[in-house]
Amino acid sequence: MVNTVQLQFSYIKRTLIFRFDAGTSRGVLKTRDVYWIKARDPKNPEIMGWGEAAPLVKLSLDYREDFEAILEKTLREMCKETWENDQDSVLFKLKGLIAAEFPAIRFGLETAILDWINGGKKRILASEFFDVHKPIPINGLIWMGDRDFMLQQIDQKLSEGFNCIKMKIGAIDFEQEIELLGYIRSRFSKEQITLRIDANGAFSPLEALNKLKRLAEFDIQSIEQPIPAGNWVEMRKLCISTPLAIALDEELIGVREKEELLDQIQPQHIILKPTLVGGILETQEWIYLAEQRNIGWWMTSALESNIGLNAITQLASTFGSAIPQGLGTGKLYHNNLESPLEIKSGFIRYNSGQTWETPS
Which residues are catalytically annotated? 168, 273
Please report the DSSP string for 35-64 in residue order: EEEEEEETTEEEEEEEEEE-PPTTTSTT-S
Report how far apart, in Å, the C-alpha atoms of 237 and of each of 99, 227, 256 are: 33, 11, 22
Please count the other Cβ atoms lying within 10 Å of the Cβ belonging to residue 231: 17
CA angle, 22 as apex, 321 and 103 as ends, to 5°? 55
Amino acid at 244: L
Three-class DSSP category at 357: coil
Please say whether the beta carbons of 16 and 30 come within 8 A. Answer: no
Three-class DSSP category at 136: strand
Please say whether the beta carbons of 180 and 147 come within 8 A. Answer: yes
